[in-house]
Amino acid sequence: MDHLETDYLVIGAGAMGMGFADALLALDGDAHITLVDRHHRPGGHWNDAYSFVRLHQPSVFYGLNSRPFGSEVPDTQGPNRGLAEMGTGQAVLDHFEQAMRQTLLPSGRVRFLSMTEHVGADAQGRQVVHSLLDGRATALTVRRKLVHATLTGTRVPSTHAPRYAVAPGVRCVPPNALPGIAGAHPRYTVVGAGKTAMDACQWLLHNGTDPARIRWVISNDAWFIDRANVQPGVENLPRFFESLALQYECVAQSASLADLFDRLEETGQLLRLDAGVRPTRYRCATVSQAELAELRRIAHVLRLGRVRSIAPTGMTLERGTAEVLPGELFIDCSAEGLASQPGVPVFEGDHAIHLQMVRQCAPSFSAAFTAAVECLVDGDAGLRNGLCAPVQLPQEDFHWVTMQATTLANRQKWSRHERLMQWLTESRLDYGTRMRPLVPAGLLERYVRAIKAASPAWAPLLAECAQRQAAGSKAAVRAHAREEVAAAS
């Protein structure tokens, strides 16, 4: 067995693993970093995604802190017209690979073990990795910390089987297969309600598919963020900060969760697909008004819960059945996407770091900021965890509240730490802090007033969230029991 040494062993070279390593390299002039990943290049799930995948947010808010990504120049064509560009999957991969080749590896302090899997610690406490190509084992002595960068990893359809039974004779493919379609199908059924399903539907429409030949299976509708509210550029600062102020004003004025979401929708902070269907989920997805208009062209939307099975004779869902046409193509977009909350602190003693979101909807920033806390904050894990409370990964609609509350609490703690605030002011990924001096004084005062006004409203809203969470957990247990009974019968 080969033996290596390193200061930080980072498991996973996706957005969070690369983001942590990139920021750590810039902040610590002595640290040696080893990244391990099952893929042949950095980029994580972007290596497995479909060819037409894009970011759902402006490129300038994503990627590594040390180098620019994308442009603030608005798109001039398509449903994102007038809004800042959103990088393609290939552009994201290029961003990470160029950083690896041009910055990380040339530093002499970074090692990348590609096509390699971490298998755990040996009897001597060394971390063991195996090559996926020849099985060769390597033991690594980690002098400082083991960094887990896959806890919130994104899951994509091409690497996961459908979450339902598919009988012989049914053609069910991941969205990766769409560009290779060689013949027409009588109908295209997209299974899934998240970002991937939205991309698949838009790809079909953009490439000329008659909307009448598209069926969309949505188990639960979700709230969307209006992308126009979160645009970079000095010219967009008034709307950016007004949107933030409006959100806190909605919180301050709300009497319940239902009332809060009504207010958020009325003020244009959240959008829905169908005016007649109230969303029950929230996943941080952003859309443009034009994209929503395109998606609304699909009239055949099936809302009967999750798919249980598909056979040539019909499709079975949680709350009913639906017909299947001969030759129909099913596009599986049911992979979970973001993994569930791991339930562990970010800093574990003096030996491990579990990378998680510390700001809502911001994986790139969260990874880089965690590296900043590691390097700039003197103290034990308890002190560092106080600055890095994990932000709830969104699933249910009420997670909008828990994410906002935790993000706000974290930011208030950061504001009392001079070295962290200096890093935030200079960070490419913290747009709000960096651009704050350019915000009109009156709007900034409104924003601060709104935060203060919302303060007493958080407790009752969070209490209602806890009740919803408890009720949902009980319902999930009952549903799982029903599934086991059905599987055994």
Q: Which helix (H) or strand (E) holds 437?
A: none
Q: Which two tokens stand for residue 215?
A: 């069926």
Gap between the Cα atoms of 462 and 457, Å rounded: 9
What pLDDT, on a 0 to 100 scale, did the predictor assign at position 473?
Answer: 74
Q: What confidence category does residue 482 fall into, taking pLDDT thresholds of 50, 70 and 90?
A: low
Average pLDDT estimate for 172-201: 96
pLDDT confidence tier of residue 484, bands split at 50, 70 and 90: very low
Rama region for 242: left / alpha / beta (φ>0; ψ in -120 to 50; rest): alpha
Residues 6 or more apart whose CB falls under 8 angstroms from that of 238 comprise: 439, 440, 443
Task: Give the separation between CA 300 and CA 397, rounded to whole angstroms.
Answer: 24
486 has a pLDDT exceeding 60: no
- What is 254-318 written as a DSSP string? -SSHHHHHHHHHHTTSEE-S-TTS---EEEEEEE-HHHHHHHTT--EEE-SSSEEEEETTEEEET
Q: Residues 108-154: pLDDT tens digits?
A: 999 999 999 999 999 999 999 999 999 999 999 999 999 999 987 66
Phi-psi region of 463 (alpha: psi -120 to 50; beta: other; left: phi over 0): alpha
Sequence-distant (≥ 6) Cβ neighbours of residue 295 within 8 angstroms: 198, 201, 202, 273, 287
Cβ contacts of 321 within 8 Å, gap of 6 or more: 314, 315
Quick check: 269 pLDDT over 80?
A: yes
Sorting pLDDT into bands at 50, 70 and 90, what band is 1? confident
Q: How many CB atoms lie within 10 A of CB 348?
A: 15
Q: What is the mean pLDDT of the chain?
A: 95
pLDDT (0 to 100) of residue 489: 45
Q: How confident is the model at residue 339 (pLDDT cuts 50, 70, 90)?
A: low
Q: Which of 388, 395, 446 is nearest to 413 (CA)?
A: 388
* For residue 155, pLDDT beyond 90: no
Residues 6+ away with beta carbon under 8 Å from 430:
365, 369, 424
Encode pLDDT of 351-386 as tens digits.
999 999 999 999 999 999 999 999 999 999 999 999
Q: pLDDT, tens digit, for every residue of 12-23?
A: 999 999 999 999
> Per residue in 51-83, pLDDT tens?
999 999 999 999 999 999 999 999 999 999 999
Cβ contacts of 415 within 8 Å, gap of 6 or more? 421
Question: Are the beta carbons of 224 and 270 closer than 8 angstroms?
Answer: yes
What is the pLDDT, as a whole number, of residue 485? 42
The per-residue pLDDT for 384 is 98
User: Angle of helix 89-99 relative to helix 15-27, nearest 10 degrees?
Assistant: 30
Average pLDDT over residues 243-261: 98
For residues 24 and 163, is the Cβ–Cβ distance under 8 A?
no
pLDDT at 342 over 70: no
Could you give the C-alpha distances from 307 to 297, 316, 318, 426, 472, in angstroms and in order? 23, 6, 6, 47, 19
Give the pLDDT confidence score for residue 182 in this predicted structure. 86
Residues of the chain above pLDDT 90, percent? 91
* Tokens (6 digits) for 48: 């497995």
Residue range 263-269: average pLDDT?
A: 99
What does the pLDDT look like over 201-214, one tens digit per residue?
Answer: 999 999 999 999 99
d(CA 363, CA 226): 19
Asked if residues 151 and 342 have their Cβ atoms less than 8 Å apart, the reply is yes
Is residue 17 within 8 A of residue 35, CB to CB? The reply is yes
Is the Cα torsion angle 455, 457, 463, 465 positive or negative in sign? Answer: negative
pLDDT beyond 80 at 48: yes
C-alpha distances (whole Å) from 436 to each of 174, 354, 448 are 42, 30, 12
Which token pair is 408? 């706000």
pLDDT(477) > 60 = no
| 337 band by pLDDT with thresholds 50, 70 and 90 | low
- Is the pLDDT reported for residue 470 higher than 60? yes
Confidence of residue 226 (pLDDT cuts 50, 70, 90): very high
Q: Are 140 and 4 in contact (CB under 8 A)?
A: yes
For CATH 3.50.50.60, list the domain ranges present in the chain: 2-153+340-418, 157-221+273-337
Q: How many CB atoms lie within 10 A of CB 380?
A: 11
Nearest residue to 54 (alpha-carbon basis) of 97, 93, 89: 89
Assigned fold of 157-221+273-337: FAD/NAD(P)-binding domain (3.50.50)
Whole-Å CA distances, 261 to 269, 281, 347: 9, 11, 34
Residue in this structure with the two tokens 């798919």, named with its chain if needed: 307
Element (DSSP H or E) covering residue 220: none
Distance, in Å, from the CA atom of 59 to the CA atom of 49, rounded to the nearest integer, reads 17
Kindly tell me if the per-residue pLDDT of 30 is higher than 50.
Answer: yes
Query: Per-residue pLDDT for 488 more than 60?
Result: no
Out of 3.30.565.10, 3.40.190.10, 3.50.50.60, 1.25.40.10, the CATH code matching 2-153+340-418 is: 3.50.50.60
Contact present, 346 and 355 (Cβ < 8 Å): yes
pTM: 0.94
- Reading the block at residue 193, the tokens are 């309600």
